[in-house]
Structure 1
Amino acid sequence: METVRLTDVRDEALSLDEVFDAVRDDGAGAVVLFTGVVRDHDGGRDVQALAYSGHPTAAAQLRRVAERIAEQEEVTALAAVHRVGDLAIGDLAVVVAASAAHRDAAFTAGRRLIDELKSEVPIWKHQAFASGEPEWVHPGP
């Protein structure tokens, strides 16, 4: 069975169950699940609205990141889904999961997947603050 089982960039609500189910495996004793949730503040400022935009290559780049990690880490399965479009406070923005025989490997792969997704995949966050000022954020290069 393929190690990278689910990657996507989509403009619809994300499902924890979908991502968790994608990495479940009888050989995996550990599953690490990370969720990024839209919060109501950033840098001491109140967030009023938030939207994510993705480059047309974002989904393919996400897949490449996951495949690279799958080759380099001892994981059973990986999955990652990122949302684009307008999101509300409390919405899931990203869900990442890694499964492995043991927890250390699952934690390492899951951490790498979210960190490298955020630094390499061309997805930008547009925040509107209560003060009226906007901000574009992309933590990558």
Structure 2
Amino acid sequence: MSDIKCYCNSGLLFSECCQPYILGIKKAPTAEALMRSRYSAYAVHDADYLWQTTAPKERRYHSKPDMLQWAKSNQWIKLEILKATDFTVEFKAYYLDYRLKAQVHHEKSFFILENENWYYEKGVYPE
């Protein structure tokens, strides 16, 4: 798996991009890096990482089984970062749903930095 291109569309190898964050070898240094690694975690079906990188105060609104189901029920095609700031990332995630119908998830995600760790806080859906 380490010789494939990263799922986040960075152009780097997975082993040099998101995999070290997902495996806990490194901490994501920015909100954008966390966003990219979370997309890759959906692609490789790593619900533990998705749960761990969700802000603790927001976890009650999410469940690890639901995260895993969403990850597995789709084929993740491409991530496109539209705009990133220190604490937000607007992106489009392209995927095929369980019927193999092309879909686009457009979201502006908000992130927080707590104890030197980045966490996904919430997302809104731009018009």
Report which of the two has the higher share of strand. 1
Fold equivalence (TM over 0.5): no
TM-score by length of 1: 0.28
Higher RCO (CA 8 Å, separation ≥ 6 residues): 1
What TM-score, normalized to structure 2? Answer: 0.30
Report the structure number with the largest CA radius of gyration. 1
